[in-house]
Structure 1
């Protein structure tokens, strides 16, 4: 009986810890999702790392955060969003969070990959990749 109780408490603790980690991950991605959904490069810029890799249909370049904001603003200007949702979220063994989403804009639908790297505060966007479907 004691063994069963300890096992149940341990499994319950693991479940609660796992749910907390998933909630923290979702919380980190919620403002990013909102900024992309609103087509707000300014809002998104708050979550950019000092250097960011941005790709459009396989053409990837590295920008500082100011340049990245301008590049994303140009994309949003040409492809105003009508909808955006993350369809998958995860975390690597190294605690690097990522999400894959579907962005529907004026010129079509894009698959969006976002990678967040750990930092001293909240995780920051390290990579964004837009691929037309």
Structure 2
């Protein structure tokens, strides 16, 4: 009887752990979407990996998280968002999340590609790519 109780308790704990991990991953993509919609480099930078690749119309550079926040702040100041919508999102078998969206700002519309890699348990932005449509 005691063995059955311990096993049930362990399985319940494991289920809650997996459910909370899946919820946290979904929350990160939602927070990234919200930060892009609001044009907030500060909100967005909370989800940057230690190094991040940012591209604008094919010109890509790798930045540390502090530099990336400054680059995004500059982009948002020149291209304040009017809308941001996700077109597609998914996840690879290795746990890499990705999303494609449409960002409409002051200077036009951009197709945005976002890739989040699991880093120490939490998915963080590894790649941000803006291509003008």
1:60 corresponds in structure 2 to 60
Q: Which runs of 5+ in 1 are unaligned?
A: 1-19
TM superposition outliers: structure 1 runs of 4+ over 6 Å: none
Matches of 1:72 and 1:35, distance apart in 2: 11
State the TM-score, normalized to the length of structure 1. Answer: 0.81
1:80 corresponds in structure 2 to 80
Distance 1:50 1:115, change over 3 A: same
Matches of 1:107 and 1:88, distance apart in 2: 23
Cα RMSD after superposing both structures: 1.6
1:111 maps onto 2:74 in alignment: no
2:15 corresponds in structure 1 to none
Q: Which runs of 5+ in 2 are unaligned?
A: 1-18
1:31, distance to aligned residue in structure 2 (A): 0.4
2:38 corresponds in structure 1 to 38
1:24, distance to aligned residue in structure 2 (A): 5.5
2:9 corresponds in structure 1 to none
Between Structure 1 and Structure 2, how many residues are aligned? Answer: 114
1:98 corresponds in structure 2 to 98
1:122 corresponds in structure 2 to 122
1:120, distance to aligned residue in structure 2 (A): 1.7
1:115, distance to aligned residue in structure 2 (A): 0.2
